[in-house]
Amino acid sequence: MHRVRAWKLHYPDLTVAREYIEELLREADVVHAHSQNSLFSVMVARRAKSLGAGVAIHFMAVDALANHPSIPVRTLGSLYGRMMTVYALRIADLKLSKSLRDVEILKSRYGTEDLHYVPDGVDRELLEMPSLEEEFRSRYGLRDNIVLFIGRLHPLKGVDVLLRAAPYVLEERRDVRFVFVGPGNAEPYVETARRSGVSDKVVFLGFVDERTKIGAIDSSTCLVLPSVCDYAEVYSLVISEAWARGKPVVASSVGEIPYRVKHMVNGILVPPRSPKALARAILMLLEDKTLTKELGLRGRRELKTWDEIARISLDLYRNITCQCRCATSKPLDQMWATEPVI
């Protein structure tokens, strides 16, 4: 790991590189930039390309701010995102995406055809290790059916939507606990649970280690992802983790989710910001154990391991290495020339 100085503005994507480790970039065969939305990543990729390295860029959350709740972010952020996408497409020798949503948008709106879909994988151990349900339940004293949320405690993740769905679920089933796993400030959500009269049925565990997280998944009836906008769901690794453990997913139809979760095939899709619809989906799985098992197992069949993803990635890297090393680098001022924004 090499750390460099940078100016960090209010939004992480606007981090500006203050220096480059040019000797490292000259030695590199491929420089892989994570996200075209990151100014820092694109700046480093641009410098690497000028020094003769092959540039791979992972395109993520393309045009995903169009339905962001904040009007300034929705307007200015969308303009910034389009500009960065256009420029990143120019300098990338290898264009990658882990989201079929982003692949579709890059092809239809930006006319990009030379794209490679390479999703995240899962550890083989996650597919093979024995259940940790009893260990988790004993540790936290939980014997009810568990409805599980894993993610940041953030408004875009729809934590409040699940809490507002809880009373509808509990009207039908009292043998349910809503367990929230992930970092963030839980205080406003504890207050939401109190006002909704469900405090005794809600547990916030905060950040936990991997073993505890797997135990939580093993103990759950389903994983719930009630996110409210496209930007919140670029590629949900926790969906893969739930499927790896044979658990179904109930999720909002936003971002990349509906491209992976197929309604009543490997999960249940619900409209965003709809507590009643979310509650109906959860109750369906609580009442029908056969359906719950079938949806989880179907999702499991779609997964690839990290070993498989690594082999695919290495093949793609090899394809660009020679051609980039033989090509003549362009001056930086030519590479940063302005182009029309889509």
Show the domains of the chain with their CATH numbers: 6-121+306-332 (3.40.50.2000), 124-300 (3.40.50.2000)
Burial of 266 by CB count in 10 Å (0-12 exposed, 13-18 middle, 19+ buried)?
buried
Residues of the chain with pLDDT under 70: 322-342
Burial of 252 by CB count in 10 Å (0-12 exposed, 13-18 middle, 19+ buried)?
buried
For residues 302 and 241, what is the distance between their CA atoms, to the nearest angstrom? 12
Host H or E run for residue 159: helix 159-172
The model carries a pTM of 0.87
Structure confidence at residue 51 (pLDDT)? 93
Edge-to-edge strand ranges of the sheet holding 115-117:
30-34, 54-58, 94-97, 115-117
**Considering just the CA atoms, what is the radius of gyration of the chain in Å?**
22
| Predicted confidence (pLDDT) per residue in 319-333, tens digit | 887 565 555 444 434
Residue by residue, DSSP assigns 47-90 as: HHHHTT-EEEEE--STTGGGG-SSHHIIIIIHHHHHHHHHHHHH
Structure confidence at residue 12 (pLDDT)? 87
Q: Quick check: 235 and 60 in contact, CB under 8 A?
A: yes
Structure confidence at residue 341 (pLDDT)? 32
Tokens in use for 95? Answer: 């264009």
Q: Are strands 16-17 and 30-34 parallel, antiparallel or unpaired?
A: unpaired
Q: Quick check: 164 and 136 in contact, CB under 8 A?
A: no
